[in-house]
Amino acid sequence: MSKISEKLGLIFGDSTLRKRILFALGLLALTRLLALVPIPGIDAARLQSLFAGSEFLNLLNIFSGGGLSNLSIVMLGVGPYISASIIMQLMTVMFPKLKAMYQEEGEAGRRRFAQYSRLLTVPLALIQGYAFIKLLQGQGVLPPLTLGALAVDLLVIVAGSMLLVWIGELITEFGVGNGMSLIIFAGIVAQLPATLSQLIYTYDPSQLPAYALGLAASVVVIYGVVVVTEAERPIPVTYAKQIRGGDRAQGGMATYLPLRVNQAGVIPIIFALSILLFPRMIFQFLAQSTLPSVAGASNFALTILANNWFYTSAYFVLVVLFTYFYTAVTFDPDNIATNLQKSGAFIPGVRPGPSTADYISRVLTRLTLVGALFLGVIAILPLILRSLTGIQSLAIGGTALLIVVSVVIDLIKKIEAQVSVREY
C-alpha cells in the first residue's frame, strides 16, 4: 500500500506528468460531451428499441465510444480510422515502398504513414455514414431526407469522426497512453452504469447459475489478460569485451532481450471486430435495395454472418491471424539483429547477423502462437457462454472487458515508464 501511495505521489507530484494526465482526462471528457449531441430528426423510442434487440449495433456502439446509441455527431467514433489503419497495414505487405516508409524511415516515415491513414479515413467515414443513415431510415429511426439535408448530416458525421481522430492523436502526443484506445475505453466505461442498472432491472433468480458463470468468466478473462500481457521470454544478450590500454578488458556486460508473449496487445481484437462489423453494415444497407437480386444476396450474406458458430469461428481465426500480422509489422527481427551487431552485442551460441535474426524470429513465432491462441480463446469465450446461458449481454460485455483490461494495463505501463524516467 505504501508503494502505491509513493507512486501516486510521484505521478501527481511531477507537474509535467500531472499536466499530461489532466490534459488527457480533459479531452476524454470532451469526447463524452460530444457523444451527447445528437443529429437532428431522431425518433428516440424507435432508436432505443432498435438497439435493445441488436448485438451488431451494440458492438458498433463500443467502437463509436458510446456515441452511436443516441446518434450523436460522433456516432462513427474512431471506427473509420481503425478500418483505414487496417487497410494501410495490409498494403505494407503488397507495396514494399509503404513497408519501407513505415519500418525504415523512422519517425518521419511513420508520420507520413499516419497521414495516409487519416486521408483514407474520410472516404471510409462517408461510406459508413451513408450506409448507416440509410439503414436507420429503413428502420424508421430517421425521417426521409432531402439531398441537402443528407449532405449536411454526412458532413457532420465525417467531421465528427475526424475530430475524434484528432483528439486521439492529441492525447497520444501530449497526454498519456494511446489516444484511440482511450477513446474506446472511455466510451465503454461511460456505459457501465446503464449496463449494470439493466442487469439489476432484468435480474431473474432462476438465472443465478448463468450469472455466476458469467462472473467467473469475467474473473478468468481479467486474470488471463493480465498474466499473458505481463509474460515475456528473456533472450540472453552479451556485449563483447573490448581491449583498451594494454591487456585490460572492458565491457562484457550481460543483459537480455525481452520478447512478450502477446506482442500485439489488444489491437488484434479491435482489428478483428472491425473486419466483422464493416461487411455487416454494408449488407444491412444493401438488403434494402429495390433490386431483388441484390437484396436477396445481401440477406443471404447477413444470415451467414448472423450464424453464431460462423461468427465465433471467423472471430477466432481473425484474432489469431491479426496477432501474427500485427506482430510481424511492428516487430522486425532483422532490424533487432542489425542493431545488436552494430552495438557489439550477441546472443550466446548464435552467430551475429542473419543467424541472430532467424533465431529471434523462431522464438517470436512460437511465443506469438501461444499469445494468439490465448487471445482468440479469450475473445470467443463470452460468445460461447452466451450460447450456453442465453444471456445476450455476455458477448458484448466480454469484448468490452477485454478491451478495458488491456487498455488499463498498457496505460499503467506507460505511466510507470514516465515515472521511472523522472525518478532517475
Q: Are residues 135 and 155 in the same domain?
A: yes
Cα 421 to chain center, whole Å?
Answer: 27
At which of 201, 222, 252 does a domain end?
Answer: 201
What is the SS3 assignment for 107? helix
Q: Are residues 261 and 397 in the same domain?
A: yes
Q: Are residues 358 and 423 in the same domain?
A: yes
Residue of 340, 325, 332, 334 whose CA lies nearest to 375: 325
172 φ, ψ (degrees, to nearest 5):
-60, -40
Does the predicted TM-score (pTM) go above 0.85?
no
Using pLDDT thresholds of 50, 70 and 90, give the confidence band for residue 187. Answer: confident
Q: Are residues 34 and 122 in the same domain?
A: yes
Question: Residue 192: pLDDT above 80?
Answer: no
Encode pLDDT of 111-127 as tens digits: 898 899 999 999 999 98
State the chain's mean pLDDT as an integer.
Answer: 80
Q: What is the pLDDT of residue 249?
A: 47
Tell me which DSSP letter residue 39 carries: P
Cα→Cα distances 69→61, 188, 207, 253, 370, Å: 6, 12, 27, 57, 36
d(CA 177, CA 56): 28
Q: What is the pLDDT of residue 315?
A: 86
Largest CA distance in the chain: 89
Q: Are residues 162 and 273 in the same domain?
A: no
Using pLDDT thresholds of 50, 70 and 90, give the confidence band for residue 7. Answer: low
Q: Are residues 95 and 164 in the same domain?
A: yes
Q: What is the pLDDT of residue 334?
A: 86
Question: Residue 321: pLDDT above 70?
Answer: yes
Encode pLDDT of 193-237 as tens digits: 777 777 777 767 777 777 787 778 778 878 888 888 788 888 888
Q: Are residues 17 and 41 in the same domain?
A: yes
d(CA 126, CA 138): 18
Question: Residue 393: pLDDT above 60?
Answer: no
Q: Are residues 287 and 373 in the same domain?
A: yes
d(CA 137, CA 42): 10
Q: Are residues 77 and 90 in the same domain?
A: yes
Q: What range does the domain containing 33 cover?
A: 1-201
Q: What is the pLDDT of residue 131?
A: 80
Q: What is the pLDDT of residue 391?
A: 62
Question: Residue 319: pLDDT above 70?
Answer: yes
Which set of grid coordinates corresponds to residue 119?
486521408
Greater confidence (46 vs 237) lies with 237
Which set of grid coordinates corresponds to residue 224?
488471463
At which of 183, 201, 219 does a domain end?
Answer: 201
Work out the angle between the directed axes of helices 147-174 and 106-138 (0-180°, nearest 10): 140
Provide, rounded to the nearest whole percent, the portion of the chain with pLDDT above 70: 85
Q: Are residues 197 and 218 in the same domain?
A: no
Q: Which of 51-55, 119-123, 302-306, 341-345 has the lowest mean pLDDT?
A: 51-55
Residue of 114, 115, 30, 116 whose CA lies nearest to 73: 30
d(CA 358, CA 367): 14
Q: What is the pLDDT of residue 311?
A: 80
Q: What is the pLDDT of residue 55?
A: 62
Q: Which of 51-60, 87-96, 200-209, 244-253 has the lowest mean pLDDT?
A: 244-253
Q: Are residues 214 and 299 in the same domain?
A: yes
Number of domains in the chain: 2
Over range 368-379, report the average pLDDT: 86
46 φ, ψ (degrees, to nearest 5):
-65, -40
At which of 154, 179, 201 does a domain end?
Answer: 201
Over range 311-322, report the average pLDDT: 87
Q: What is the pLDDT of residue 341?
A: 84
Q: What is the pLDDT of residue 390?
A: 64
Over range 353-371, report the average pLDDT: 90
Q: Are residues 134 and 77 in the same domain?
A: yes
Domain with 292 in it: what CATH number? 1.10.3370.10
Q: What is the pLDDT of residue 243?
A: 46
Query: What do you get for the CA distance between the two ends of the chain, in Å?
Result: 22
Q: What is the pLDDT of residue 298?
A: 84
Using pLDDT thresholds of 50, 70 and 90, give the confidence band for residue 10. Answer: low
CA angle 315, 84, 228 (to 5 degrees): 45
